[in-house]
């Protein structure tokens, strides 16, 4: 079993839709939870960073962590074509462990 | 924000040659730098962690004699792929941590695509 599981997609949605991206994990030692966005042939860009259960909002993005279920989510409201990218969840105890990434395509 | 650069962005080389990739933190000092490898449609896999002025710590399965890492200053780390082979073709990404030992605050470079013929 992988430490971090993420549906690879692809996920295709119309502009304006609400997008839900999810990861599950097995290691209860993970303390920090992050979402990165990676455009094709580019390095990952940090979107959200949380360390406790609950929700954290930043503009159109909301990160949700449920430690009891070992489940994290990223919600994107009013999705835009520019949001089209691969979204990677990552978790940290003493090093970063990444999910495989979910490819998102937002079409006009 | 913190900016990390990598050079070159793309390199094509013949099998058996060595390739050096540079990673620079442009506007902050990075006590710790990380090197990742990403194969197509796969996740980033940590190869090694380097702290300025000390030897790199390699992840299990990563050959330290093949992937030489040097972190000579607080703004520069280099990865040298020695005697590269086609199976080394991948996307290599570095990241820099602003605080020593803080693995969760990492800023990533744009990556280097290595193709070994």
Interval A68-87: pLDDT, tens: 999 999 999 999 999 999 99
User: What is the pLDDT of chain B when averaged over all its residues?
Assistant: 90
Q: What is the pLDDT of residue B98?
A: 63
What is the pLDDT confidence band of residue B100, given thresholds at 50, 70 and 90?
very low
Q: What is the pLDDT of residue B1?
A: 64
pLDDT tens per residue, range B41-83: 788 999 999 888 888 999 999 999 999 999 888 899 999 999 9
Instruction: Output the DSSP codes for B23-75.
Output: EEESSS--SEEEEEEE-TTS-EEEEEEEETTSPPEEPTT--TTTEEEEEEETT
Which of A78, A76, A85, A77 is closest to A105 using CA atoms?
A85
Closest by Cβ to B43, choosing from A41, A43, A98: A98
Q: Above 90 in pLDDT, residue B105?
A: no
pLDDT tens per residue, range B71-82: 888 899 999 999
Q: Above 90 in pLDDT, residue A92?
A: no
Distance from CA of B104 to the nearest CA of A (A): 6
The more confidently predicted of residues B97 and B91 is: B91
The more confidently predicted of residues A82 and B103 is: A82
CA closest to A6 among chain B residues:
B43
Work out the average pLDDT over B15-27: 95
Percent share of chain A, pLDDT over 90: 72
Long-range contact list for B99-103, CB < 8 A, 24+ apart? B99/B31, B100/B31, B100/B32, B100/B51, B101/B32, B102/B32, B103/A92, B103/A94, B103/A95, B103/A96, B103/B32, B103/B34
Establish if B44 touches chain A: CB-CB under 8 angstroms: yes
The more confidently predicted of residues A45 and B101 is: A45
Establish if A87 touches chain B: CB-CB under 8 angstroms: no
Q: What is the pLDDT of residue B4?
A: 93
Establish if A108 touches chain B: CB-CB under 8 angstroms: no
Distance from CA of A59 to the nearest CA of B (A): 18
Cβ-based contacts of B41 with chain A (< 8 Å): 8, 100
Distance from CA of B18 to the nearest CA of A (A): 22
Q: Above 70 in pLDDT, residue B103?
A: no
The more confidently predicted of residues B107 and A82 is: A82
Q: Above 60 in pLDDT, residue B111?
A: yes
Closest by Cβ to B111, choosing from A6, A43, A88: A43
């Amino acid at each position: 079993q992988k430490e971090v599981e993420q549906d690879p997609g692809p996920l295709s949605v119309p502009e304006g839709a609400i997008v839900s991206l999810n990861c599950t994990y097995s290691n209860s030692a993970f303390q920090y939870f992050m979402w990165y966005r990676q455009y094709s042939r580019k390095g990952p860009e940090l979107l959200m960073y949380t360390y406790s259960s609950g929700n954290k909002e930043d503009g159109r993005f909301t990160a949700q962590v449920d430690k009891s279920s070992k489940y994290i989510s990223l919600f994107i409201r009013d999705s835009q074509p520019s949001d089209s990218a691969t979204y990677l969840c990552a978790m940290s105890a003493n090093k970063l462990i990444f999910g495989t990434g979910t490819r998102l395509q937002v079409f006009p | 924000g913190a900016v990390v650069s990598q050079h070159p962005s793309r390199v094509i080389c013949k099998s058996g040659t060595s390739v050096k990739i540079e990673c620079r933190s442009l506007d902050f000092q990075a006590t710790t730098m990380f090197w990742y490898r990403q194969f197509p449609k796969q996740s980033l896999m940590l190869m090694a962690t380097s702290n300025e002025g000390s030897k790199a710590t390699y992840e299990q399965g990563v050959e330290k004699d093949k992937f030489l890492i040097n972190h000579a200053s607080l703004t520069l780390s280099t990865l040298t792929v020695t005697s590269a082979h086609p199976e080394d073709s991948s996307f290599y990404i570095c990241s820099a941590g602003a605080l020593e030992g803080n693995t969760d605050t990492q800023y990533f470079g744009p990556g280097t695509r290595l193709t070994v013929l």
